[in-house]
Structure 1
């Protein structure tokens, strides 16, 4: 088990005049042996942040640390951080058998000899509830859920301390999502892995995660233990995400005019000054008089002094939140 920490990480593409800051000064810790759920809208920077940990997105500033060591200084030959991607088909070479794809991820020098490699491939396939005989088939001969299991086995073949799962169920049929999530939870607990689990589905995050971080327009706006954040959200954006989550009851009571909350997200090339959520905030300066500070001052300053580190000048108080519907359609209590 290892701790993964993003220390004031920023990722910027393009030049200063026409560039885009996809991740802006994010600090986030995945504790050893814990699952952290990272949620937010598409385009909020979740996947970009995750990709910095495996070297697929360059870090413009800040550091990504594994047990206090910059990942750029880790010894070669083993990759202790592995990633499972959203599309299980594009992440596997269609011309390689799944056994070869899994074996390709073995650390250098591990499992020497054909017999040892074949045995380890079989063990990993059994770990993800697939028949070892499947090692000889091609990805196109498997279902989407089976391919995602192979992708997980391939990530585990690298003997990681940390696994990053990026929307791994969003491309799957609803009928198999629950089975894959149960598998991920069981493997994580069995192996004691640290995990960053990215999703836009709060029911999934509630089911899997010990901690949750909410990301909006490149920044973390709220973070804390999952039960506490979902039971008592402090940031209006978190409240809006909860209101949009499937539930058997009525959505969370609106805290402002619907016309404000439904405004299109700002252009990430030119984010708003002050609180980036203020043009859409149902309790912001466009709705409540005397809150002009939201348009001028960065709410992340002093966030560590607020509940859930909420990046909000006027954090919300406790209010009733209906249960989020779980994967079987039953309401899941959030308190």
Structure 2
């Protein structure tokens, strides 16, 4: 197994005046561990995942697997991705078995019988009856299709699995079963995994490390339990405060009124200095003397801070709103 490393990765769409969806991101997925990547819609999470899988071209930087640029790896990469929508990730004209067999690297199992046995093994691995190999995806439920998508990804013999919001399109009743399966497979196979979600309870349940993304940049990263119980960046704290739990009201998050109605920053024209200062409950909207937030990028010297938090005042807890510690496993 090898580390997956994002080395100063940027992804830009539309030329110089377009949108920088991912901006100079550095992140490591250690071998055999799960990194949960969280952030609101539009933060760049899925674009970063697609860049690793070779589906979004890099504007700058590198994605390395075991020290090798993924763009130099063979077509059948030791890195596979499971997508959000199980209804569009499988070819409706191909049987379940054909879809899985197509992903098996050429030359690994040359005989039809061996490939058929491998398809049966993979279906059993994701808790599906091997007899479903002859069925079309249209005959399956959403949860069953996502299990097939997992089996197809595992057929590629990956070292790293990227899961992009794989339960968000599923009924609540089956989300837990799929998450339990993912955790079991990761541990049994020793996979490295980048798990993308906006659900903090899911991230806590699965992840060893949590990385928080905002407007194309990583603003905090560290051990999952530490980040989710002692967050250093105000954006992480706001995400936690906004997550419903048995201990919080949906209408009372403890956020300062000065930031409640603040407009989100335009991703096409992100603000200078700290990108979160337009919404920050401990920034210049509330504390007028904190002009440094308008002028200096806190990410430039974040390495020496706890959790590499991209915040000038993240450690000044006297100004931070109370948050709930109540996020739990799904």
Measure the CA separation in 1 of the matches of 2:254 and 2:295: 22
Displacement of 1:256 after TM fit?
4.8
Displacement of 1:245 after TM fit?
1.2
Within a 5 Å distance, the mapping from 1:143-182 to structure 2 comes to 143-182=141-180
Aligned residue for 1:41? Answer: 40
Within a 5 Å distance, the mapping from 1:1-335 to structure 2 comes to 1-16=1-16, 18-74=17-73, 76=74, 78-250=76-248, 256-317=255-316, 321-327=324-330
Measure the CA separation in 2 of the matches of 1:307 and 1:169: 31
Measure the CA separation in 2 of the matches of 1:132 and 1:199: 30
The alignment's TM-score, normalised by the length of structure 1, stands at 0.94
Measure the CA separation in 1 of the matches of 2:263 and 2:135: 45
User: Does structure 2 retain, via aligned residues, the 8 Å contact 1:234–1:307?
Assistant: yes
User: What is the DSSP-based 3-state SS (H/G/I as helix, E as strand, rest coil) of the residue aligned with 1:172?
Assistant: coil
Residues 172 and 66 of structure 1, relative CA distance in 2, 3 Å threshold: same
Measure the CA separation in 2 of the matches of 1:105 and 1:208: 26
RMSD after superposition: 1.5
User: Does structure 1 retain, via aligned residues, the 8 Å contact 2:7–2:27?
Assistant: yes
User: What is the DSSP-based 3-state SS (H/G/I as helix, E as strand, rest coil) of the residue aligned with 1:300?
Assistant: helix
User: What is the DSSP-based 3-state SS (H/G/I as helix, E as strand, rest coil) of the residue aligned with 1:36?
Assistant: strand
User: Does structure 2 retain, via aligned residues, the 8 Å contact 1:7–1:28?
Assistant: yes
Between the two proteins, the alignment pairs up a number of residues equal to 325
User: Where does structure 1 lack aligned partners over 5 or more consecutive residues?
Assistant: 328-335
Aligned residue for 1:332? Answer: none
Measure the CA separation in 1 of the matches of 2:75 and 2:19: 33
Measure the CA separation in 1 of the matches of 2:239 and 2:289: 25
The alignment's TM-score, normalised by the length of structure 2, stands at 0.95
User: What is the DSSP-based 3-state SS (H/G/I as helix, E as strand, rest coil) of the residue aligned with 1:294?
Assistant: helix
User: Where does structure 2 lack aligned partners over 5 or more consecutive residues?
Assistant: none
Residues 320 and 259 of structure 1, relative CA distance in 2, 3 Å threshold: closer
User: Does structure 2 retain, via aligned residues, the 8 Å contact 1:47–1:166?
Assistant: yes
Measure the CA separation in 1 of the matches of 2:100 and 2:253: 48
Measure the CA separation in 2 of the matches of 1:114 and 1:256: 61
User: Does structure 2 retain, via aligned residues, the 8 Å contact 1:232–1:317?
Assistant: no
User: What is the DSSP-based 3-state SS (H/G/I as helix, E as strand, rest coil) of the residue aligned with 1:302?
Assistant: helix
